[in-house]
A and B are shown apart, each in its own frame.
Chain A
Amino acid sequence: MFSGKVFGAVAGAAVLALSATGAFAQAKDKVKVGFIYVGPVGDFGWSHQHDQGRQAIEKAFPGKVTTTFVESVPEADSERAIEQLARTGHDLIFTTSFGFMEPTLKVAKKYPNIKFEHATGFKRAPNLSTYAAKFHEGRYITGVIAGKMTKSNVIGYVGAFPIPEVIAGINAYYLGAQSVNPNVKIKIVFANTWFDPAKEGDAAKALLDQGVDVLAQHTDSPAPIQAAEARGKFGFGQASDMERFAPKAQLTAITDNWSDYYVARTKAVLDGTWKSEDTWGGINAHMVVMTPYKNMPDDVKKMAQDTEAAIKSGQLNPFKCPVLGQDGKEIECKGNGSLSDEQVLGMNFYVKGIEDKIPQ
């Protein structure tokens, strides 16, 4: 579930490793689309959102498309499941977790006429695309809200693993909070899991015990926000709308919207126009969607909406230069007025003001 993008060298190597297969372009009347999920469909987070995308495909092309999914596929043992989909007549296969990268690449080599799409990875091939979403844009907005809503001036973050995507999310969240509240502090706990309600809940409680009153999470179950709800504190939904689990605590949720992308890619296969490419969309591309802002005063709500609009229009970039590292030194600005995509995707430093250290 990590992100990856235009990593020229790696992608190039992957492309070279494959003989060019050419002639994909052929329109089809019927398409079979397969999905590999890392978690259960009912996780109400990551895999759930991918499954929403799968259902959107079925709705969009009635009678023309059939879909299949295999859930809770362990990353270390996924090659067979992917190949099973390839062998059972699927034309387009989405593998929806970072850990499926090498197995997807291997199977893609064996089945050059089938199209593969790997979420959040960075290795591509003529029949293997990659796609991911700029969740850090949403994190920045939640940071602005947290900075305004906190009374203790301590906000919290339950992270999954200290990988670049999560680190970038923490930085964006904290920069957002700092932009409206220079005194805000952040406490971070890594749960070392994407989905384990008990561990996630314990991590959340540990943070709440330390005076955190607004809690963000980058793990997939509703357990952290439920812990916030139980203590009368605030939180943000992750991946899908978690309002029904925490009606009083959820300020907003950063939801993943894969539906538009999945429908577009399926259509490309139907039309015979599918090409291997890399997609990294954010709020503007409607891949990251904020649910309605609730449980907050009108001025905070207005501020959140303005921030969202500014990000959408491109006027605001969460990682606008100068970005200061923990030691207060400026991070080299490799993008156009902001950190480059590569810098965000490989991020392994905390910004100034975060007192923690990234676990190594």
Chain B
Amino acid sequence: MRFELTPRASVSPVMRALAPVAAFVTAFLIAGFVIWLMGRSPVAAFDVYVLQPLSDPWSLQELAVKATPLALIAIGLSYCFRANLWNIGAEGQYVIGAVLGSWLALRTHGTEAGAWVLPLMLILGVVGGALYGLIPAFLKTRFGVNEILTSLMLVYVAQLILDYLVRGPWRDPKGFNFPQSVTFDPSATLHPVLEGGRVHYGALFALVAVLLTAVILGRTLFGYRLKLTGDAPRAARFAGFSAKATTMAVFAISGGLAGLAGISEVSGQIGQLQPSISPGYGFTAITVAFLGRLNPIGILIAALVVALTFIGGESAQILLKLPLDLTQAFQGILLLCVLAADALVSYRIRFVTRGGGK
């Protein structure tokens, strides 16, 4: 026996809206079952994973901190993915944005440079990320090179550039040879939104990016063009939309937002350059973009949900002594459930018995 997926004639909007909810419930049931098998209480786990982080002002702040880079990068990626272009290299664009922006911070370190430093750093971050994102776009449009490979491999190049800089020319001369730059001056530091808090202005950039994107995708010709290029490339060509221009544009946007996330994180959170400035945000953001179904509001929610699984996972280690592996497995289960739910809304499973094939 085998089964095949056949498209449903009509997709009910109610089903589509409820699909993520069903996916979450299923994912929690599966995870709860595993936790029960481990001899722990699934109810306590749900409390620690979800309810406590959502009911405590401190962890709500941390949620925003963690979700900020994920949302910024994922929003950018949604432009690419909507146009059926696969930018897998956001991690590298994040790093190069951080590097270019930090260059100014290090250049002005110890000087009397004023309030212009930070805005310029942010702009450099965007420019750095965008230029780096344009490399795979250029290679694709000019030579037809697969953008999945080039964008992914450029991640390693970016990481090695950063590694070289913090061990070599940008190393803190008073840092006992440890691979890290000086800590940034206040003029180069992205400040917290609330005094004493940890949420920095990067969170606002993420919100602005979400709203702008919602407008652009929903109400502009450019948004329509992306959708058409992704869904019906031939039709897009007949409509006179240049595939090359679209490719360059979406990679620049996506790289620019990843670069902004990078410089915001370095300037607002870490406060210096070091060999590792991201726990894989650029890759996690791919998951976030799909969890959010490439919809700006969806992505914002998905970023918060994924951030919640990280924070809840840490709480679970501390309070319930559940292993980290379970958190990672849960993230995987969640993504699978969401994708499966989406597929089941659009398609019907048909079982075909042996001999019944065409």
Which residues of A approach B to under 8 Å, CB–CB? 2, 4, 7, 9-10, 34, 40, 68-72, 74-77, 79-81, 83-85, 87-88, 98-99, 102, 122, 161-164, 192, 345-348, 359-360
Which residues of B approach A to under 8 Å, CB–CB? 58, 62, 65-66, 163, 167-168, 174, 176-179, 183, 198, 269-272, 274-280, 311, 314-315, 317-319, 321, 323-324
Residues in A neighbouring B280, C-beta threshold 8 A: 74
CA distance A40 to B317 in the complex (A): 12
Nearest 4 A/B pairs, CB to CB: A74-B279, A346-B176, A77-B279, A348-B177
CB distance from A251 to the nearest CB of B (A): 30
CB distance from B177 to the nearest CB of A (A): 5
Q: Is the CB of B274 within 8 A of A80?
A: no
Q: Is the CB of B277 within 8 A of A76?
A: yes
Q: Is the CB of A163 within 8 A of B179?
A: yes
Q: Is the CB of B317 within 8 A of A71?
A: yes
Closest to B276 in A: A76
CB distance from A102 to the nearest CB of B (A): 7
Q: Is the CB of A7 within 8 A of B314?
A: no
CA distance A243 to B167 in the complex (A): 34
Instruction: List 25 A–B pairs whose Cβ atoms lie within 8 Å, in order of A's numbering.
Output: A34-B318, A70-B314, A70-B324, A72-B324, A74-B279, A75-B274, A75-B276, A77-B279, A79-B198, A80-B66, A83-B62, A87-B58, A88-B319, A99-B274, A102-B270, A102-B272, A161-B167, A161-B179, A163-B178, A164-B176, A164-B178, A345-B176, A346-B177, A348-B177, A360-B168
Residues in B neighbouring A10, C-beta threshold 8 A: 174
Residues in A neighbouring B174, C-beta threshold 8 A: 9-10
Residues in A neighbouring B274, C-beta threshold 8 A: 75-76, 99
CA distance A40 to B274 in the complex (A): 22
Q: Is the CB of B176 within 8 A of A4?
A: yes
Residues in B neighbouring A9, C-beta threshold 8 A: 174
Q: Is the CB of B318 within 8 A of A70?
A: yes
Residues in A neighbouring B311, C-beta threshold 8 A: 80, 84
CB distance from B141 to the nearest CB of A (A): 33
| Contacts A76-B279, A102-B272, A360-B167 supplied; 8 other A-B pairs, CB < 8 Å | A7-B176, A9-B174, A71-B324, A76-B270, A161-B275, A163-B177, A163-B179, A164-B177
> Helix, strand, loop or mixed for chain B's interface?
loop
Q: Is the CB of B318 within 8 A of A84?
A: yes
Residues in B neighbouring A162, C-beta threshold 8 A: 167
CA distance A69 to B321 in the complex (A): 8
Residues in A neighbouring B323, C-beta threshold 8 A: 71
Residues in B neighbouring A4, C-beta threshold 8 A: 176
CB distance from B279 to the nearest CB of A (A): 3
Residues in B neighbouring A345, C-beta threshold 8 A: 176
A80 touching B167 in the complex, CB below 8 Å, given contacts A163-B179, A345-B176 = no
Q: Which of B168, B272, B275 is most buried by chain A, counting CB atoms within 10 A of its CB?
A: B275
A98 touching B279 in the complex, CB below 8 Å, given contacts A84-B314, A162-B167 = no
Residues in A neighbouring B317, C-beta threshold 8 A: 68-71
CA distance A2 to B274 in the complex (A): 14
CA distance A98 to B176 in the complex (A): 13
CA distance A10 to B182 in the complex (A): 12
Q: Which of A10, A69, A76, A162 is most buried by chain B, counting CB atoms within 10 A of its CB?
A: A76
Closest to B163 in A: A192
CB distance from A99 to the nearest CB of B (A): 7
CA distance A351 to B62 in the complex (A): 47
Residues in A neighbouring B62, C-beta threshold 8 A: 80, 83
Q: Is the CB of A99 within 8 A of B318?
A: no
CA distance A88 to B321 in the complex (A): 13
Closest to A122 in B: B176
Residues in B neighbouring A122, C-beta threshold 8 A: 176
Q: Is the CB of A99 within 8 A of B276?
A: yes
A85 touching B318 in the complex, CB below 8 Å, given contacts A76-B277, A77-B279 = yes
CA distance A35 to B163 in the complex (A): 28
Q: Which of B168, B176, B198, B279 is most buried by chain A, counting CB atoms within 10 A of its CB?
A: B176
Residues in A neighbouring B198, C-beta threshold 8 A: 79
CB distance from A165 to the nearest CB of B (A): 10
A88 touching B318 in the complex, CB below 8 Å, given contacts A7-B176, A99-B276, A102-B271 = yes
Residues in B neighbouring A68, C-beta threshold 8 A: 317-318, 321
Out of A40, A74, A75, A84, which one reaches B315, CB within 8 Å? A84
CB distance from A42 to the nearest CB of B (A): 10
Q: Is the CB of B178 within 8 A of A98?
A: yes
CA distance A99 to B323 in the complex (A): 22
Closest to B328 in A: A72
